[in-house]
Structure formats: C-alpha cells, structure tokens
Structure 1
C-alpha cells in the first residue's frame, strides 16, 4: 500500500518538488564524497573551518542521516497528515548544512568555487522550507475543517 502511494505521489509531486529531491541527494552525495576522500578536510584549505567544527567522519555521518532522512520524508509525502511538516524539517536541517558549508568556505578565504554554489543551495532550500511550511499549514487547516465537519454529524 505504501509503495503504491509513493509511486503515485512521486508522479504527482516530483515536478514541483524536484529541487527538494535534488538537494536531498546532494547532501547524501556530500556524505559519500567525504567517505571516499578521507583526507579531504586535512588536504583542502577550504575545508579547514569545517574540520574545526567536527571531524570529517562526523560530517559524513550527519550528512548521510540528514540526506537519507529527507529522501524518506519526500517519498512518504502525503501518506501521513504530518508529512509536509517533515518536508519542512528536512529542508530546514539541510539549510543548516548549506549555511555552515558556506560560512566555512568564506572563512577559509580561498575564494573557491564552493562560494559560487553553496549560498545558492542555501537560498533554494530556504525557499523549500517556506513552501513546505505553507503546505503544512494547508494540511493542518484541512484536518481542522474535517474535524469540525465530523463533529457536526
């Protein structure tokens, strides 16, 4: 039943949520790159501010959990009433990563290409948070209206 819902939901919502799927996958890919390049933080000057916050393997684990969790939230979207709230949470958590990566690259002072990309990812996911919160509010309103109608009968 849930697989049928996921298939239908994906067909219906992917076009309007493509950026959410892409950004979740990017965070998951970040984890993969950190695992495949264990010396990235120590060898790359742009990553030193991030290394000062946490070890590279910790970043990898957190990116894995956040990216995979967000993909799961997107897959179950609509199967439960609170799923837009989960989408908003997933996008918000991703914003924390994009923000910290952006700040880390800026602090490194290397003016790498990351400064051309990560601020845009942060802005895009900030927009996704707002869209998901709007969807969550609409979901809550529909639920409240159904409850009022149900109480009348």
Structure 2
C-alpha cells in the first residue's frame, strides 16, 4: 500500500488581492490629473513628498504585491514576496492612517479607520505568508532528502 500526501488545501488570498487593489486605486487616484493634495486634509502628506511621489511609491508596492500573488504557488519563494509586500502594505496603510489622523482638524476622518483596518489585514497577510514560507521550506527539505 502506497501512502501519498494529500494535496495542499486551497488557501484563499482574496483579502490580499483586495488590499493590493485598494492600494492600486489610491495610487492611481494620486497619479490622475488634478490636485488631490490641494485639499487641507492632505497637508501632512504634502509636507513629506509631492503627490506624484506618493502615487508612484504606492503604485510600486501594489504592482509588486499583485505580481507576488499572481505567481503564488508556482515558485517556491513566492511567499517571501507576499510577506515583504504585506509588510510594505501594512506600513503604507498605517502611515496613511497616521497622517490622516494628524490633518489638523479635530477628530478623525473616515480614512483613519478604513486605512488602519487595511493595515491590520496586511499584518494578518504578513503572518500568513511567513507561515506559508516556512511550510514551503519544510516541504522542500523533505523532498530534497527523499531524492537523495
């Protein structure tokens, strides 16, 4: 009797895709014609970098993240890409939330809660992709030992 390992269960990445797509939407909004940073809410953002710089940085994170999700499972190191971009995404979301919380107006606007929630989802994605990478490394080590 031969015992074969069962196929790994599908682990949905919809939350990671949603976070990447929202980040892409924010990036494209900042890169679109118009002066988003002319609104007083964005004074803290403008003090750090111009609108185009923010847009390109967020676009880079979103693009690399979507590429990592797309190749996920087809390359042993893809969880490392997911892990790194989830960390970058969490930093971006928490940074955006912090800047919106310090916009000079009393109270917090709705972006603070929304961006902080997206940051928490990326922290979860970071933890899950770290676990996935460890599992991949253990599988690879077992396969290497079995082949030897």
| TM-score, normalised via structure 2 length | 0.87
Where is the helix percentage greater, Structure 1 or Structure 2?
Answer: 1
1:97 aligns with 2:92: yes
Unaligned runs of at least 5 residues, structure 1:
1-11
Q: Is the 8 A contact 1:46 1:112 kept in 2?
A: no
Aligned equivalents of 1:65 and 1:48: distance in 2?
Answer: 23
Deviation at 1:150, TM superposition (A): 2.0
Aligned equivalents of 1:63 and 1:25: distance in 2?
Answer: 11
1:120 aligns with 2:117: yes
Moved beyond 3 Å, runs of 4+:
12-15
1:77 aligns with 2:56: no
Q: Which residue of 1 aligns with 2:19?
A: 23
Deviation at 1:55, TM superposition (A): 1.1
Unaligned runs of at least 5 residues, structure 2:
1-7
Q: Is the 8 A contact 1:38 1:56 kept in 2?
A: no
